[in-house]
Structure 1
């Protein structure tokens, strides 16, 4: 455990000082208790020898003063260590997460990382003091007492010396059990948290259904599962707890019986017998109390494993001599394959997203990616931006494999318009300026016009200073898309990747966003790759790459592919027909 904690904190100066201070206090406590032996030997004679006891009493007084001073220093150092260690771990996690492939950031992983960087870091830092210090005391005080007893009478010391490692082994088992139970409870706890959020968000639906008080069946099921896991965890922990307590009690009884027998047969003086009895009791107290910290030690192990799991995530590989400039804005795929899942499982255990994909997007061209859901279109755009690396083949930008670029330089030349737009809880202007903070007001407004965002700004009372709310909740989906497109325009990147920005929008916003995408595609200085479904977007493309089940099925211009009568032609005709659909209603006469 100590090695694991030191791996988490490369500079644990305060932690080392805290633990050293705790160790000194524990050893000093054991030695002070050991002074009972010479003091009682001097005082329990037929004629007490005060002179012989005085040096030991003076040493005890000095030791008590030192113990009091060091004990007063321990809490400030401990609390300072908690704060510093939490900050250190959070900074390390933050630094590491900036090196991870962007494809790593799934919804589940983002939530797990947030919990790790906040509550896990805080709790782990606190436990190093709240649990770590008592654990050191509970181990070193009995060890010191056992050493003192060994110096007085080896017969009484043997049961104590044997008990200590056996008890620590039993404690390790209890700690492992607690860690396993904690992991099991975490699953149930996360499910309850998710269902509780759902319960709050779905109140209108639940009230309409008369379920406002009882919640959904999934929530009731999550609560029942949590109770089941909790009871199961208590039963699992009961055995190791009783085993530990039994080992400690057996060791104490064995030492007590040995001491009494030695006293009765006259081989152990009464003064030593009294002192060893007191020492045996003090041996039992801190060691027996260690079982109360088993839960904390198990929690420390579990939290440390969670932090290590994030830190062990491989960073995005960087080239030894990264390229720091694009020769041109062309994009090429050469026999690219990509599989979702853990690479350790091998290709057979992973889900194929792309297989043997090859196509070209010349500089300044507009390429539309089409195909059914799950065909690999989004994966293509993520590979260009190097959210993750291809498992086989090459993705080239500017004639160079994307893995050879400095990743920051590559992303500076790429603008991405996501289907799900995230906006920061600040003003519209600041959300757009993220792409180019030094842009002039004229450049900002030109980008807004190109993205049709100026129409939105003009009708809002606060204009550019309108706050968008958390994740852009104060704006509609189409308005958020316009902000995202304005970012792409303002960035002036030479490559623009668009993930079907007009899907699931109302007709007005669909037309506005479609026009903005078309305007982007007409700029001869940009290479645009758009995941397209709308005929207007397809008509603006120079080239079409049709994908199905992760493979390229057709490539060519829109006109060429429409004449072939293949999958693209059928898809295009289907969208053309749906544009003419109308909803009509008939009402009965009278």
Structure 2
């Protein structure tokens, strides 16, 4: 098999994992973070404007009851003229009840709007991130653990849900409430207002410091969640569980997960406890201030200040309308600092630039262009980081394939055969030379158009955990049942499928594990036939099969190759003896080319390969 790049080290290696964790201890730095977060809400401006209007009205209404309370005390319960003024008191109480009812109804409406907008923004962000990741080059996925990608989509985006849903309304509502309450307090007593607010600057400074600590812990917590998701994805997949059972490593895998789980628990506890001392102090302060107001009021009254009982009751009520929303603003500020780390991790992925992109004015192949001619011109290729080590995978590779021709590449493992198959559909870009498809440089062809013209059958067949019909329709979503059956017949798998109790509605299991290797390969071939590509790339499609399955699959491949340009990467030479041209690859170069019989007569590399095979 061809070189697939540098081997990936064990992701649970102690030193590597610790180095990775230290490297990710701080959130990635993203410029204009707040501006980018605010841009997420632009499509929802009408709902946001309505939400803000409701917040403003609701916040303003919350200050009215304390002022009515003052009137109730001073004019209703204890008027200067004598006994209680019951009619006026009745009117004031009804007005207070009406204000609270309206405020509550507005609050329900506001909650619906904020939840709707927040979840829509979060959902759009998740889909946009998924779409962006779909556009990333193959190399990104070979160097990034799937579990970490899943964690960014699920844990990181989900972690900012409450901020997206509640931040706008909370900040706006609390700010308006604080301003209105502050004005009302000044109107009631400027002296008591000073007493109530004297320690707030120190509290605000302490809040900023706590927020920085919480942001760092949040980043580490998300990194730990990423590691746990990666472990789950690796070890609880069918392949992972088979490997663990085969080597008796269930215990060590459980301990690996348990170790990361202990780390996660520690971080969650730290995150939950960070700032609790600060908030305890703030709550004590907020609880003590009303009592201090009573004491200061006594001194002010003794000193001749015009402070009535109604003023004191109204002031302490308004004071709660100011201090508790202030506490809410502090909590929101902490949440923003914490979520800022998560947003930075999300936008870090958004800022990744795909290495393989369409050029401006990229060519869209017409049906006449899709004739299947392929040409390599002095191609050089090195996997990322390989050239720095002085190595390369392909060197000076040149060949041409005419439409309808069948060529094959053979050679020892690691020679570069599979890499050639990766370069044709532009999974990677060449580092030197050029590849032409239908007369165009592949870098000048729109990727979607190029991939529409190429069908690939690899050794590692992938089937979704779905029905056979759904797996086949992946190649052509609008395929009719007759087209599906025809493709299955051409792939020599129709009789097998129809022998199943559920036929084409048989669920194949994760990665097709409910089917044999030969059955999976023939379904994969049927899927390619249904796509009907101009060029068929076969990457060692039979190397992992027994001789009986190989014969059935090879017959299906022969049928699929009729009328198409076929490029086969072969391990067993018996599968390519009928190829029009065989290229022998060694050390990243084509060292020999010709038909099988001619190459055997040369007694060169091909003959030596043939001699080593039964």
Q: Give the TM-score band, short-chain normalised.
A: 0.7 to 0.9
Q: 1:445 to 1:64 in 2, by over 3 A?
A: closer
- Equivalent in 82, 107, 117 of residue 81 of structure 1: 117
- Structure 2 equivalent of residue 21 of structure 1: 54
Instruction: Check whether the contact 1:518–1:537 (CA below 8 A) recurs between aligned residues.
Output: no
The TM-score normalised by the length of structure 2 is 0.74
Q: 1:222 to 1:492 in 2, by over 3 A?
A: closer
- Equivalent in 137, 141, 145 of residue 181 of structure 2: 145
Counterpart mapping for 1:269-348 below 5 A: 269-271=306-308, 275-288=314-327, 300-301=339-340, 303-314=342-353, 316-325=356-365, 326=369, 328-338=371-381, 340=383
Instruction: Check whether the contact 1:448–1:454 (CA below 8 A) recurs between aligned residues.
Output: yes
Query: Structure 2: how far apart are the matches of 1:165 and 1:548?
Result: 69
Highest RCO, 1 vs 2 (Cα 8 Å, sep ≥ 6): 2
Q: Report the secondary structure of 1:11's partner residue.
A: helix
In structure 1, the gaps of 5 or more residues are 580-590
Q: CA deviation at 1:225?
A: 3.5
Q: 1:62 to 1:487 in 2, by over 3 A?
A: closer
Q: CA deviation at 1:406?
A: 2.6
- Structure 2 equivalent of residue 162 of structure 1: 201
- Structure 1 equivalent of residue 550 of structure 2: 510
Counterpart mapping for 1:357-506 below 5 A: 357-363=396-402, 364-425=404-465, 427-428=467-468, 431-432=471-472, 434-436=474-476, 447-454=487-494, 456-457=496-497, 460=500, 466-506=506-546
Query: Structure 1: how far apart are the matches of 2:592 and 2:602?
Result: 11
| 2:38 counterpart of 1:6 | yes
Deviations 1:169-194 (A, max 9, x none): 24532541442242143145325635
- Structure 1 equivalent of residue 29 of structure 2: none
Counterpart mapping for 1:123-142 below 5 A: 124-125=160-161, 128-129=164-165, 133-134=169-170, 137=173, 140-142=176-178
Q: 1:171 to 1:206 in 2, by over 3 A?
A: same
Aligned-residue CA RMSD in angstroms? 4.7
Alignment length, in residue pairs? 564
Instruction: Check whether the contact 1:259–1:268 (CA below 8 A) recurs between aligned residues.
Output: no
In structure 2, the gaps of 5 or more residues are 1-32
Q: 1:347 to 1:503 in 2, by over 3 A?
A: closer
Query: Structure 1: how far apart are the matches of 2:263 and 2:153?
Result: 29
Deviations 1:11-37 (A, max 9, x none): 134456445534543454356546667
Query: Structure 2: how far apart are the matches of 1:338 and 1:31?
Result: 74
Instruction: Check whether the contact 2:581–2:594 (CA below 8 A) recurs between aligned residues.
Output: yes
Q: CA deviation at 1:498?
A: 1.3
Q: Report the secondary structure of 2:568's partner residue.
A: strand
Query: Structure 1: how far apart are the matches of 2:154 and 2:226?
Result: 18
Instruction: Check whether the contact 2:55–2:169 (CA below 8 A) recurs between aligned residues.
Output: yes
Q: 1:3 to 1:507 in 2, by over 3 A?
A: same
- Structure 1 equivalent of residue 265 of structure 2: 230
Q: Report the secondary structure of 1:314's partner residue.
A: coil
Q: 1:445 to 1:290 in 2, by over 3 A?
A: closer
Q: CA deviation at 1:478?
A: 1.0
Query: Structure 2: how far apart are the matches of 1:70 and 1:92?
Result: 33
Q: Report the secondary structure of 2:519's partner residue.
A: helix
Q: 1:555 to 1:396 in 2, by over 3 A?
A: farther
Q: 1:561 to 1:305 in 2, by over 3 A?
A: farther
Deviations 1:140-194 (A, max 9, x none): 5445434544564263465266357436524532541442242143145325635
Instruction: Check whether the contact 1:252–1:280 (CA below 8 A) recurs between aligned residues.
Output: no
The TM-score normalised by the length of structure 1 is 0.76
Query: Structure 2: how far apart are the matches of 1:159 and 1:396?
Result: 75
Q: 1:427 to 1:226 in 2, by over 3 A?
A: closer
Q: 1:492 to 1:239 in 2, by over 3 A?
A: closer
